[in-house]
């Protein structure tokens, strides 16, 4: 396949997001309840601490580092803080403009336009948009209750090999999947790396929700991959968007040291580096001696867990007789699979939901090629508890 011409890609772009947040439905009397946006509860964010850290930074000599052009791979203090938090070596950490850029840079490091990328079915639609913009072919691997289906992946790799087809990369969301909320346990992470070694492909592991576990911290990829010098198989994409707010635009990639250097050299030509001010404020907070970040994340975890449990039990009462309700163990999302008669994408049901002014994401947008999932994603993260209950009441009534 010929490489796409970038200017043609630009010309063909539309501004439609894969889905948009619910806005008030014109003729509904009810105020809108928006289960769409995958955003934090802004009331949980420590704005006072942010302000104080910003002031301290600007009053100190470190303001110089924050305001000047700085290291392409990210400022040293933030790389150190991320390495400490994520239990790796500072030389394996590369700072990004959020996970979105982490996905873009990982893809750019591994693939050429025309190559095929493997993704889970379902997957995160904004990543799909990036892959398609770059001119990649997308093929899918099923998802199980424990993350990507390793048997199906192996069969695909095997038949690809027999047909002379090369898969260079898999994009996966291993912890508290968006949208399906499932996680790949530690031993399956190790098995995935073994597959990657056997079939010679790399793994882009996008994990924005990892810190927001409810009862159990998710298992890690093998540590030898996370601290590799070279020839690693793994690019772990992380972000502060879900814990400190997406407006910071600060995230990271953890990968082998040679690849960190390659990313640095690529980034030098692309956008230089993420905001030094944002990086410095976050580094300052993560360096506080009072375990500031661990305490902040604990506090958020408890709040999201409460919201998730409330929504889960309201849904069991409201739609339990016609939907499979997958219990989240962390993250922001509740995934539901309805029976065909109660599919929210059915035009009559969609009309009833709009009239009730309750908004969700119909499941099909998460499937690159398939239709008819009868599924839906509900974000519980940002909604007040009363809205979770009232939203479920309206949802159940509209779908019945």
Ligand X SMILES: Cc1ncc(COP(=O)(O)O)c(C=O)c1O
| Residues near ligand X (CB under 6 A) | 38, 98-100, 124, 173, 178, 206, 208, 239, 241, 246, 251
**C-beta of 97 vs 357, nearer to ligand X:** 97
Minimum separation from the CB atom of position 208 to ligand X (A): 5
Residue that the structure tokens 């604990």 belong to: 298
Nearer Cβ to ligand X (238/318)? 238
- CB 340 → ligand X: shortest distance, Å? 28
By beta-carbon proximity to ligand X, the closer residue of 115 and 206 is 206
Give 129 or 305: the residue with its C-beta nearer to ligand X: 129
Residue 25 CA to residue 43 CA, distance in Å, equals 26
CB of 1 to ligand X, least distance (A): 27
Query: Would you say 383 or 398 has its CB closer to ligand X?
Result: 383
Least Cβ distance, residue 54 to ligand X (angstroms): 20
Find the shortest distance in angstroms from Cβ 309 to ligand X: 21
Question: Nearer to ligand X by C-beta: 88 or 100?
Answer: 100
Quote the least distance from Cβ 239 to ligand X, whole Å: 3
Tell me which residue has its CB nearest to ligand X. Answer: 98
């Amino acid at each position: 396949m010929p490489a796409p011409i970038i200017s043609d890609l630009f010309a063909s772009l539309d501004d439609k997001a894969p889905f948009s947040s619910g806005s008030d439905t014109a003729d509904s009397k009810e105020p809108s309840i928006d289960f769409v946006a995958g955003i934090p509860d802004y009331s949980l964010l420590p704005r006072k601490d942010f302000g104080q850290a910003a002031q301290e930074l600007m009053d100190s000599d470190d303001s110089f580092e924050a305001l000047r052009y700085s290291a392409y791979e990210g400022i040293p203090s933030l790389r150190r803080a991320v390495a400490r938090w994520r239990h790796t070596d500072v030389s394996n950490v590369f700072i990004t403009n959020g996970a979105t850029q982490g996905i873009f840079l990982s893809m750019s490091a591994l693939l050429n336009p025309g190559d095929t990328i493997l993704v889970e079915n379902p997957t995160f639609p904004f990543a799909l948009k990036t892959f398609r913009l770059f001119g990649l072919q997308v093929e899918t691997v099923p998802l199980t209750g424990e993350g990507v289906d390793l048997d199906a992946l192996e069969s695909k790799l095997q038949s690809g090999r027999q047909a002379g087809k090369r898969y260079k990369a898999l994009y996966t969301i291993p912890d508290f999947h968006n949208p399906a909320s499932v996680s790949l346990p530690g031993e399956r992470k190790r098995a995935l790396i073994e597959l990657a070694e056997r079939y010679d492909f790399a793994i882009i592991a996008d994990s924005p929700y990892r810190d927001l576990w409810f009862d159990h911290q998710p298992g890690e990829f093998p540590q030898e991959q996370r601290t590799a010098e070279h020839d690693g198989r793994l690019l772990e994409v992380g972000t502060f968007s879900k814990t400190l707010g997406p407006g910071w635009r600060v995230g990271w990639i953890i990968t082998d040291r040679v690849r960190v250097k390659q990313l640095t050299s690529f980034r030098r030509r692309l956008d230089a580096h993420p905001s030094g001010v944002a990086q410095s404020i976050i580094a300052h907070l993560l360096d506080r001696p009072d375990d500031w970040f661990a305490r902040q994340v604990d506090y958020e975890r408890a709040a999201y867990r409460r919201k998730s449990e409330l929504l889960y039990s309201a849904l069991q009462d409201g739609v339990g007789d016609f939907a499979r309700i997958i219990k989240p163990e962390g993250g922001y999302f509740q995934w539901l699979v309805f029976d065909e008669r109660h599919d929210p994408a059915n035009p009559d049901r969609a009309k009833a939901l709009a009239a009730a002014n309750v908004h969700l994401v119909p499941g099909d947008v998460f499937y690159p090629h398939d239709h008819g999932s009868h599924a839906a994603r509900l974000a519980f993260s940002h909604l007040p508890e009363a809205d979770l209950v009232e939203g479920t009441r309206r949802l159940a009534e509209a779908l019945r």
